[in-house]
Amino acid sequence: MASSSVIAKQSTYNVVTTDLSSSIEKIQDYKSLDLEPFEKSPVWSDEYLSQLNIQRRPFDFQIELIQSVINSGNSIVSLRTGAGKTYIAALLIKYYYMKKRKEKDEQFLTFFFVPHRSIRDQQVTAIRDVGDLRVMACDDNSTANEFVQYSHIVVCTPQKFLNCLIDKSILLNQIDLLIFDECHNCIGNHPYSKIMEQYLVYHQLEHQPKIIGLTASCGTKLTNPKLVLEELSDVEKRRNNALNKLYELCATLNCHNVVTVKKEEHIEELNKKIHRPIDDQILAIQSMSFDQYIKKLEEVIKSLLSYIGSKCSPSIDVSIDEQQLGQEKNNAEIKNNFTNVILIKYMIMFVKRLDALTDLPLKSIINDIIKKIDLFYNKKETPIEIETEIHHYCLQIVNSIVDRLKESEYYLTNPKLDFLTKKLQELIKQRDNARGLILVSRTLYAKLMFDYFNEREDIKNIIKPCWLVGQNGVDYQNSLSEQDEALKNFRKGLSNVLIATDIVQEGLDVPECSFVIRYEFVSNEIGTVQSRGRARAEKSSFFLVVDEGSKNHIKEMTTRLKELEMLEALNSWQQISPDQLKLNLQKVQDGIINQWRVEAELKQIIESNLADSQTIDGKVSCRSCDHYLGQLSWIRKRNNSYFIRQQQLTERIEIDCFSEERIFKEIQVKGKVLCGNRKCREDIGAAQKFTDRPDILEICALTCKKLKFSFKDLHGNYHISMFQKWADVRFKIHELEPPMSTNTLPVRQQNTILLDFC
């Protein structure tokens, strides 16, 4: 393996908390180590474990899986949640590390990928448990290549690694082992797939890292309800489809086998040692007595939707769903129909609350509606006339329904929430230090349910909630520090109920978690397996609370049949001979690689025909209102950031400063950036400053999906394009010029707008 000196882009990294001059290793003589028992013996003696400095004895079923991987080469480890996949991976890392030290005594490097940053530190702690390995986490403000020289194992999100792989600041021939946690995500455009595209297409070397995938479920990812039902009704089709998806996953990961626990005595040990929920139920709730109260608010919301839709030009049908409204908004943005853009935002907000009527307290929904209406309206200094009319009318109508609903016994709650509250009290009182998860589909649910439990005085000393959602939620968000704080409080027991979106469905490890309740939340069969596995404590419980006969109720029944499909696929896999598996996998992989190459060639053709932004007559504007921000020719990029230089920054945007500035590595964040149009004031980014570029003064980071690009053709006509991310733009962007020397800097600096890569 090449040494770290081959890194194309060398970074300077100062390790503060780790003394690199002192050895963390207790094994002194690797040359004399006997690794044959590790590879072949079903029992590892205490003396042998001591020689290898392994403090915690692995279970026999874990040893079986470790040896299966060693014998098979690149493999996927399929094992139920909570059974120690990370510990198995850590022992395998240590094995390959010891083997290399024994044979060559050269530098060793593993990258361990986690799909979510929220479980990064948890995995670091688990891997360090095997001893002798320097394990470091690539934090939010660092790049993955900064840790290469100082680590045996780098734990990071896949995008961090992919960025370095693409810009060649990390080379695959530096790496011994790649581990993909929750590897079932390796499909489509996920960063896992993009890493493997680099591995199989662009980095075909004599030395390639070994690969290990970890998963509790090799799902088939069918989402079309018609296809799911069609497949489930045909046993042969179901079996073949599941097996084909397993081939696709293995071929994409370049894995030769899926290893599972096979020996009967080890299966018995697994079932005995690793707790599974003893109570696994779908709790279907009948809310008939509540319907009369829902209908009052439902009728009001539908009347408001009809009223707002009639004010749009052209008018919008009240019966369309949230996805269709999103498309209508997109069309309005392209056509510069600012009125419709504003009104459709109100309609989307109302549709979301309409869907939540049977799940959340009426008071909470009404208060949230009022809050959102005011938020939309008050952030504008001079709202357009129709928005003023809509704002006043909606508030008047919503407030009028409040007085009527206050008389209802269900104004502060509803039957489903009453049932959930009683169930929570029952579960918490069953054991000391009980803790559990409530998984929900939307950030709206997480926040309003948190408020609901907090406001109930009668359960204040029983249910101690916290909530956790991503930082990019539409309705509500948690910052990274807020996410960390919520997880820390939950793990310590300061909170005993964590209400969260699916940000914690994969990978969160809290051994004390004694119950998981999905509240009107059904994703797919993988989600069901993953969420069930979060209930780790002995005699734990796993529930789905859902309206009887609802879409989610039916979907869960289908999902549980899909679980059976996954097991059938694994059983079928074990019956196929190794030679036949190899042939089948090669055929599937050839097809995947060919598809990647075709897509890459098409992308290259498109890029080669992209017009130079320096020669395009075009402009950049706010997507919502078409407020002018600058010319396309002004755009520059630096790493993953994009800039527009201009002298009249304050005339085109408004900055809403934070009370305290925030520092993220070389970026200093001052506040939010709002559209300069007083009738719009859309939140379009963050005011920032590069601390390592004093020649650039105040900058503003804007999000690509908040922008609109207009191009003028040869006939003088403008064409509008909108992109979700900068990688998709259809014009070439030039790199930011290097800083000028101090004696050539102009007296007066230009201000700059920075547009981030997403």
Residue type, 445: Y
Residue 472 is predicted with a pLDDT of: 73
* 3-class SS string, 121-181: HHHHHHHHCCCCCCEEECCCCCCHHHHHHHCCEEEECHHHHHHHHHCCCCCHHHCCEEEEE
Tokens 């049932």 correspond to what residue? 419
Backbone angles phi, psi at 136, to 5 degrees: -130, 145
Q: Which of 167-181, 222-236, 620-634, 726-740 has the lowest mean pLDDT?
A: 222-236
Residue 280: is it exposed, middle or buried by C-beta count within 10 angstroms (0-12/13-18/19+)? middle
Rounded CA-CA distance 683/379 in Å is 9
Would the pLDDT of 309 be above 80? yes
Cis upstream peptide for 314 (omega within 30°): yes
Residue 196: is it exposed, middle or buried by C-beta count within 10 angstroms (0-12/13-18/19+)? buried
DSSP secondary structure, 606-634, as one string: HHHTPEETTT--EEEEETTT--EEEEGGG
Neighbour tally for 525: CB within 10 Å: 25
Work out the angle between the directed axes of helices 362-378 and 338-355 (0-180°, nearest 10).
Answer: 170
Residue 183 is predicted with a pLDDT of: 93
Pairing of strands 153-156, 435-439: unpaired
Percent of the chain having pLDDT more than 70?
A: 87
Rounded CA-CA distance 419/415 in Å is 6
Tokens linked to 546 = 């859902």
Mean pLDDT for 656-663 is 84
Rounded CA-CA distance 208/195 in Å is 13
Instruction: Select the more confidently predicted residue: 645 or 337.
Output: 337
How many angstroms from the chain centroid is the CA of residue 404? 42
User: Residues near 8 by Cβ (< 8 Å), separated by ≥ 6?
Assistant: 167, 168, 169, 171
Mean pLDDT for 648-668 is 79
Instruction: Select the more confidently predicted residue: 279 or 737.
Output: 279
**Polymer length of the chain:** 758
Q: Helix or strand or coil: residue 490?
A: helix
Would the pLDDT of 4 be above 70? no
pLDDT in tens, 337-384: 999 999 999 999 999 998 888 888 888 999 999 999 999 999 999 999
**Residue 455: left (phi > 0), alpha (psi -120 to 50), or beta?**
alpha
Mean pLDDT for 614-631 is 87
Mean pLDDT for 452-458 is 91
Mean pLDDT for 100-127 is 89
Q: Which of 319-333, 457-471, 556-570 has the lowest mean pLDDT?
A: 556-570
Q: 124 falls in which pLDDT band (50, 70, 90)?
A: very high
Rounded CA-CA distance 364/448 in Å is 6
Q: Give yes or no for a contact between 538 and 278, defined as CB atoms under 8 angstroms apart.
A: no
Q: Give yes or no for a contact between 528 and 556, defined as CB atoms under 8 angstroms apart.
A: yes
Rounded CA-CA distance 645/603 in Å is 29
DSSP secondary structure, 7-23, as one string: -SS------SS--TTS-
Residue 236 is predicted with a pLDDT of: 64
Beta bridge partners of 753: 644
Q: Which of 615-629, 636-650, 663-677 has the lowest mean pLDDT?
A: 636-650
Residue 660: is it exposed, middle or buried by C-beta count within 10 angstroms (0-12/13-18/19+)? exposed
Q: Which of 65-69, 120-124, 415-419, 735-739 has the lowest mean pLDDT?
A: 735-739
Residue 511 is predicted with a pLDDT of: 64
Tokens linked to 488 = 């820390």
Q: Give yes or no for a contact between 497 and 486, defined as CB atoms under 8 angstroms apart.
A: no
pLDDT in tens, 518-546: 998 877 777 777 778 777 778 888 999 88
Tokens linked to 356 = 């939540």
Instruction: Select the more confidently predicted residue: 734 or 381.
Output: 381
pLDDT in tens, 224-270: 445 555 555 566 666 677 788 899 999 999 999 999 999 999 999 99
Q: Helix or strand or coil: residue 513?
A: strand
Tokens 């007595």 correspond to what residue? 289
Residue whose C-alpha is closest to residue 55's, from 151, 134, 108, 132? 132
Q: Give yes or no for a contact between 614 and 602, defined as CB atoms under 8 angstroms apart.
A: no
Would the pLDDT of 649 be above 70? no
Tokens linked to 425 = 């009290």
Rounded CA-CA distance 137/160 in Å is 11
Backbone angles phi, psi at 402, to 5 degrees: -60, -45
Residue 2 is predicted with a pLDDT of: 36
Q: Return the CA Rg of the chain.
A: 28
Mean pLDDT for 130-154 is 90
Residue 19 is predicted with a pLDDT of: 38
Work out the angle between the directed axes of helices 415-429 and 443-455 (0-180°, nearest 10).
Answer: 70
Residue whose C-alpha is closest to residue 484's, from 143, 137, 134? 137
Would the pLDDT of 220 be above 80? no
Q: Which of 433-447, 496-510, 697-711 has the lowest mean pLDDT?
A: 496-510
Which of 212-226, 607-621, 649-663 is most confident?
649-663
Neighbour tally for 487: CB within 10 Å: 22
Residue whose C-alpha is closest to residue 311's, from 333, 336, 284, 340? 340
Tokens linked to 75 = 């493999």
Mean pLDDT for 276-296 is 78
The overall average pLDDT reported for the chain is 84
Would the pLDDT of 9 be above 50? no
Residue 175 is predicted with a pLDDT of: 95
Residue whose C-alpha is closest to residue 626's, from 677, 674, 673, 672? 677
User: Residues near 182 by Cβ (< 8 Å), separated by ≥ 6?
Assistant: 114, 115, 214, 215, 506, 507, 530
Instruction: Spell out the long-range contacts of 28-37 with Cβ–Cβ below 8 A and sequence spacing 24 or more.
Output: 30/98, 30/101, 30/102, 30/105, 31/102, 33/98, 33/102, 35/95, 35/98, 35/99, 35/102
Mean pLDDT for 293-302 is 85
Would the pLDDT of 647 be above 60? no
Rounded CA-CA distance 733/11 in Å is 25
Instruction: Select the more confidently predicted residue: 402 or 717.
Output: 402
Instruction: Select the more confidently predicted residue: 71 or 477.
Output: 71
* 3-class SS string, 375-432: HHHHCCCCCCHHHHHHHHHHHHHHHHHHHHHCCCCCCCCCHHHHHHHHHHHHHHHCCC
Q: What does pTM read for this prediction?
A: 0.78
Q: 562 falls in which pLDDT band (50, 70, 90)?
A: confident
Q: Give yes or no for a contact between 445 and 519, defined as CB atoms under 8 angstroms apart.
A: yes
Percent of the chain having pLDDT more than 90?
A: 43
Residue 235 is predicted with a pLDDT of: 60
Beta bridge partners of 695: none
Backbone angles phi, psi at 506, to 5 degrees: -105, 125
Q: Which of 23-32, 295-304, 349-358, 567-576 has the lowest mean pLDDT?
A: 23-32
Residue 290 is predicted with a pLDDT of: 65
Neighbour tally for 619: CB within 10 Å: 19
Instruction: Select the more confidently predicted residue: 709 or 231.
Output: 709
